[in-house]
Amino acid sequence: MTNDSHSVQIIILNGAPRSGKSSIARAVQEHFEGPWINLGVDSYNAMTPKRYLPGIGLRPGGERPDLEELVPFFYAALYESIAIHASLGLNVVADLGHHDSYSQPLGILSDCARRLEDFPVLFVGVRCPIETIMQRRDIVQEGRETLYLSATEEVPIPEPVQRWQDEVHRPGIYDMEVDTSVLTPLECAEAIRHQLDLGIPEPSAFERIAGAR
């Protein structure tokens, strides 16, 4: 493999749970040329001790201040791992849910962006209307039966779900966005491929975010 930082590609997919990030990541792995390593929230949390979960998947609202001091280190380690994979010539796709709605701002996204300053990064906002997300949360996934809050007649949209929708796209600086309510995962992946062929905009979203102190 090459260690030329500009011959590899890194895609960061950012969106709320059930917005379709993981499906897009799988489509990238299955249809893009060369090896694409998925270093997203699910794979990272699979390595995280259960007592520290949800780890980097900690949802907005400052509900677990006892975990917050660890979250920046988890993210830093994940992004350093992305950098190492890329330095070895491996393409990376990471499906994540960045936000800064903790009990106090942690500035994680800008720190992560600076850790990839030597690499080309396409930062993709994965949008999905909350009504579609709620429909997807009602679909039982094996191993995730208790993971997602469902709607009830009294509470059609649980507050934690609304918080994700409100916070995950702040500040909303992206190189491109896709809407999974109108595009299939493969169509989203093809749109991403098209943007990669055109080239990452300059300055890139991560360059702008890294410069925002």
* Residues forming a β-bridge with 177: 125
Based on the residue annotation, tell me whether 95 is a catalytic residue of this protein: no
Helix (H) / strand (E) containing 122 = strand 121-127
CA angle 158, 162, 163 (to 5 degrees): 115
Phi (first) and psi of residue 108, to 5 degrees: -70, -45
Q: Cα separations (Å) of 75 from 23, 55, 92, 98?
A: 22, 9, 15, 10
Output the known binding site.
15-22
Smallest CA-to-CA distance from 101 within 19, 161, 57, 163 is with: 163
Instruction: Report the 3 state secondary structure along 53-78.
Output: CCHHHCCCCCCCHHHHCCHHHHHHHH
Output the known binding site for ATP.
15-22
- Of 42, 100, 111, 179, catalytic: 42
Catalytic residue numbers read 42
